[in-house]
Structure 1
Amino acid sequence: MTHALSLTLLSLAGIGAFVLGVQLFFVLRRQWSLSRAPAPVSSGAAPAGISILKPLCGVDDDLEANLACFATLGYPAYEVILGVKDTRDPAYQVAQAAVARWPKVMRLELQHGEPGLNPKVNQLITLAGVAQYDILLISDSNTRVEPDYLHEISRTFEDPEVGCISHPVSGIGEQTLGSLMDNLYQSTTTGAGQIAAKQAADQDIVVGKSMALRREVLEALGGFYSVRNVLAEDFVIGRWVTRGLGKRAVVARAPVYNVSQKKSVSAFFKRYIRWCIIHHSCIPTPVYLAQSLLNPMPWALLGAMLEPSLRALGVVAGVTLAKLVHDVTVFRVLRPGQPTPAMTVPAVLLKDVLLFVAWANGLFARSVDWRGNKLRVMAGSKLIPPASAPVQSLPTPESLPGAKSEPESESDSNELLAG
Structure 2
Amino acid sequence: MWKTLVASIFLGWYFILLAIGLLGWREARKRYFRRNNALTSYSPRARPLEGVSILRPLKGLDPNMYENLETTFKQDYPTYEIIFAVADDDDPCLDIVRMLLDKYPHVDARVTIGEEIVGVNPKINNLMQAYRTAKYDILWVIDSNVSVVPQTLSRSVSALTASPTIGLVHHVPYATASIRDAKFGTHLERAFLNTNHAKMYIALNVLAIDSCVMGKSNLYRRSHVDQISGLGVPLSKQNMSPPPDGPVRGLASMGKYAAEDAKIGHSIWHELGLEHCLDVDVAQNVLGPMTLRGYIERRARWIRVRKAQVLAATILEPLTESVLAGLLACLALHYFTGADVVIMFVIHWCIFLAIDLDVRYHLTGTHFTSNAELGEFILAWMAREILAFPIWAYAIWGSRIVWRGVTYRMLRGGVVERPDRATRHSQDFADGRMQEPLLDNHDH
User: Smaller-chain TM-score range?
Assistant: 0.7 to 0.9
Q: 2:418 aligns with which of 371, 382, 385?
A: 385
Within 2, Cα distance between the matches of 1:259 and 1:338? 18
Report SS of the residue matched to 1:254. Answer: strand
CA contact (8 A) 2:174 2:284 kept: yes
Distance 1:281 1:149, change over 3 A: same
Per-residue deviation, 1:149: 0.8
1:125 equivalent in structure 2: 128
CA distance in 2, matches of 1:274, 1:84: 25
Counterpart position of 1:262: 289
Letter in 2 for 1:289: I
Match for residue 337 of structure 1 among 350, 360, 366: 366
Distance in 2 between residues matched to 1:67 and 1:369, nearest whole Å: 29
CA shift, 1:316, in A, is 3.3
**For residue 354 of structure 1, what is the aligned residue in structure 2?**
387
Q: Which residue of 2 aligns with 1:274?
A: 301
User: In 1, distance between residues paired with 2:9 and 2:70?
Assistant: 49
1:244 and 1:98 map into 2 onto residues whose CA distance is: 39
SS at match of 2:60: coil
- CA pair 36-153 structure 1, distance change in 2 beyond 3 A: closer
State the 1:31 CA deviation: 2.5
Residue equivalent to 1:252 = 279
**Following TM superposition, by how much is the alpha carbon of 1:304 offset from its aligned partner in structure 2, in angstroms?**
9.7
Cα shift at 1:65: 1.1
Match in the other structure for 1:290: 316
| Deviates most, 263-272 or 127-136 | 263-272
| One-letter amino acid matched to 1:377 | M
Give 1:198 deviation, angstroms: 3.3
Q: 1:225 aligns with which of 236, 252, 255?
A: 252
1:162 and 2:169 are equivalent in the alignment? no
Within 2, Cα distance between the matches of 1:144 and 1:185?
19
TM-score by structure 2 length?
Answer: 0.78
Partner of 2:435: none
Counterpart of 1:80 (choices 56, 79, 82) is 82
State how many pairs are aligned. Answer: 389
Determine the structure 1 residue equivalent to 2:30. Answer: 32
Partner of residue 242, structure 1: 269
For residue 226 of structure 2, give the secondary structure of its aligned residue in structure 1.
Answer: helix
What residue number does 1:61 align with?
A: 63
Over the matched positions of the two proteins, sequence identity in percent amounts to 24
Secondary structure (helix, strand or coil) at the match of 2:136 reads coil
1:33, 1:128 → 2: CA distance?
31
Q: Distance in 2 between matches of 1:82 and 1:13?
A: 50
User: What is the rounded CA distance, in whole Å, between the counterparts of 1:24 and 1:302 in structure 2?
Assistant: 19
The worse-fitting range, judged by mean Cα deviation, of 237-246 and 386-395 is 386-395
CA 1:9–1:297: 2 relative to 1, 3 Å: farther
Contact 1:174 1:180 survives alignment (8 Å): no
Aligned partner letter, 2:190: N
| Structure 1, unpaired ranges of 5+ | 396-419
> What code does the residue aligned with 1:362 have?
A
The 8 Å contact of residues 76 and 154 in structure 2, kept in 1 or not, is answered as no
1:171 aligns with 2:169: no
Please give the per-residue CA displacement for 1:145-174, whole angstroms capped at 9, x wherever unaligned: 122211022212323322211112222235
Question: Equivalent of 1:193, from 167, 179, 200?
Answer: 200
1:318 is the counterpart of 2:347: yes
2:188 counterpart (165, 181, 185): 181
The one-letter code matched in structure 1 to 2:395 is G
RMSD, aligned CA: 3.2
Report deviation, 1:277.
0.7
Q: Which amino acid aligns with 1:44?
A: A
Partner of 2:420: helix, strand, or coil?
coil
Query: Is this contact kept in 1: 2:168–2:277, CA < 8 A?
Result: yes
Q: 1:179 to 1:20 in 2, by over 3 A?
A: farther
